[in-house]
Amino acid sequence: MKITDVKTFLVDASPPGGWSGGGRNWLFVKVETDAGIYGLGEASGWPRVVETAIQDLTPVVVGEDPGRIEYLWQKMLLAMMGHGMTGVVGGGAMTGIEIALWDILGKKLGVPVCDLLGGRLRDRVRVYVHASTPERAHELIERGYTCFKCGGLEHPVRTVKTLREAVGDDIDLCIDVHGPPWFSVPDAIRVGQALEEYELLFYEDPVPPENIESLAKVARAIDVPLACGERSSTLYGFRELIERDIVDVVQPDTGRAGGLLQMKKVAAQAEAHHIMVAPHDGSLGPIAEAAAVHLMATLPNFLILEHMADDVPWRYELIEEFPLEDSHFIVPDRPGLGIELNEAVARAHPGGANANRPGPGVRTYVESRMSRRRLTQP
């Protein structure tokens, strides 16, 4: 079997009512073979730019055996040597192709991808969803969800306190403050210490991830599990974060971490340091989510998977996702990833400007930068 082509689908997935960054795209990948078997993948990071990177990588993989996944990953890495080795553009491009290769191999052998990644440790993969108000939390509890992440950039402690009082102690809570550049180490420590009494599952990106030493200072000063890693790519991008035991939870993004095998390697390194894995999938589409479910079914140090409980209304026309019961995805038995892409629906929603174009949330961020103390009031 040989690879004959790599196709991409850039899909405008901006949710109703808009997105804080202005817009959002999903980038789907389809790797075709001369045997009539194809595989699906998904890439993130900077979708329109990553799409161009995938087009540049297509000649690197065409004509090759799709089952030689590690070989093809190394070949793509070498092809990008002059462009930087661990950036999200290259990582995203390799990710989209690599996931599709696993889908092909599973279909060829007639087994689900999780069986190729070591076999499942669990048949159900727990997810968390997003809620920052008691009203939204109670709505989601009625639908069976048992863990929420809130966005508390302006009043993080107040937001968590309100949610904890509303949902009680049986629901897990976590918070993401998104590591803004004006959220200083003293800010992050002060907020983290105030959050200790609320028994959080994790405190995500308390400071910008570019300076690992800043995160280490926060870790030494607070008693709340720290999570970080959605902006990192490949095993090399996670190495120092894990080796220095700075965080309690790593969050590789399934669309840009470098592929399922790279995520498996990151998870193995984290396991040796007793660090848990909770992939970042909040801005991704259903193909990356399906891939994450397969991988998380195999990891001994899996904690929880991010899930968008309500997304674009046509999401389930695009791909029929796995059954979701009591805040858990049911791991499928179908060959490969166990999903099919409705290409007509994908083409009906062509991608627009990149997801990080200035949007309504930018004004709040800029104004907050001018009054940083207001930003972190409890």
Whole-model pTM above 0.75?
yes
pLDDT tier for residue 217 given thresholds of 50, 70 and 90: very high
CB 125 within 8 A of CB 155: no
Instruction: Tell which residue, 201, 196, 341, 178, has the closest CA to residue 278.
Output: 201
Residues 255-279 have pLDDT tens digits of 999 999 999 999 999 999 999 999 9
Say which residue, 80 or 119, is predicted with more confidence: 119
Of the listed 138, 155, 178, 349, which one is catalytic? 178
Ordered structural domains, the chain, with CATH: 3-110 (3.30.390.10), 115-341 (3.20.20.120)
pLDDT at 19: 55
178 catalytic residue (yes or no): yes
Is the pLDDT at 224 greater than 70, yes or no?
Answer: yes
CB 306 within 8 A of CB 280: yes
CA dist., res. 2 & res. 74, Å (int): 18
pLDDT tier for residue 374 given thresholds of 50, 70 and 90: very low
280 catalytic residue (yes or no): yes
pLDDT at 209: 87
Instruction: Tell which residue, 225, 110, 123, 127, has the closest CA to residue 176.
Output: 225
Of the listed 83, 155, 274, 280, which one is catalytic? 280
